[in-house]
Amino acid sequence: MSEARVRVTGRLVLGLIVIALGALFTLDNLGVLEAGDVLQWWPVTLIAYGLARMAGVLCQRRTALGVVFTLAGSWFLLHNLGYVRFGLGDLWPLVLVLLGVSMVSRAMNRTRDARAGEDLSSNLSAFALWSGTGRKVVAQDFRGGDVTAIMGGHDIDLRGAGIAGDAAVIDLFVVWGGVEIKVPPDWKVSCEALPIMGGVDDRSKAPAGEARGHLVLKGLIVMGGVEIKN
């Protein structure tokens, strides 16, 4: 008989957390221990989840997601123990720094491609800040590009495009925004983007025959959403 493997799901983790909190508050009411002294160690759960994600223990291996949870848990734990005196709210301007670095890097890469004589129509570059845009791509040698949506949205239509190489890669940076991508029915889609309090809804159907294009989505999605359909 084969041994069944326990699959870690969000419902399982939430259930274990609820059980632990119920037992903790019961012991606090009975005077056995102080709940506050135990609750300051709650970031250990984030660290454990992050390490499990990086190692692929009882869950699918996601190195980038594991690193984010491990670093966040370590930060909260050090802050609760008094080793870090400033909170995350004091570091919010770093978001602007990262955004600026991303924008400058993409602009420099696009300028470099133009100087090298590369056809920029084969590369998508879309930016939306407090606004919405609609883009239609018909290039038959589509290579990918970058899509940035900050409190805004994009409607990107790739149904008339073709992919000449092995794959086209779109780098996403979505913060409090949304992106809708329409793909041809003979394309397959792979999502490697990291969602943080956000999500990716892939409604595209698998090609009936051999895939004639491969679209890969990478990047970061923070409190936003991406939808793919054909």
φ/ψ of residue 146, rounded to 5: -135, 140
The C-alpha atoms of residue 196 and residue 202 are separated, in whole angstroms, by: 17
Indicate the domain borders of the chain. 10-91, 120-229
Exposure string over 73-84, b if 16+ CB within 10 A, otherwise e: bbbbbebeeeee
- Write down the residue that tokens 């699918």 correspond to: 60
Q: Given this model, what pLDDT does residue 1 score? A: 45
Measured N-to-C along each axis, helices 43-55 and 63-80 cross at an angle, to the nearest 10 degrees, of 160
**For the chain, which residues score pLDDT lower than 50?**
1-3
Q: Given this model, what pLDDT does residue 193 score? A: 87
- Rounded to 5°, angle at Cα 172 from 14 and 129: 105
Structure tokens that stand for 30 in this block: 């009975």
Mean pLDDT for the chain overall: 80
pLDDT in tens, 143-183: 888 898 888 899 999 999 999 888 999 989 888 889 999 99
Read out DSSP for 18-36?
HHHHHHHHHHHHTTSS-HH
Tell me which amino acid residue 38 is.
Answer: V
Task: Return the bridge partners of 218, or none.
Answer: 171
Q: Given this model, what pLDDT does residue 109 score? A: 64
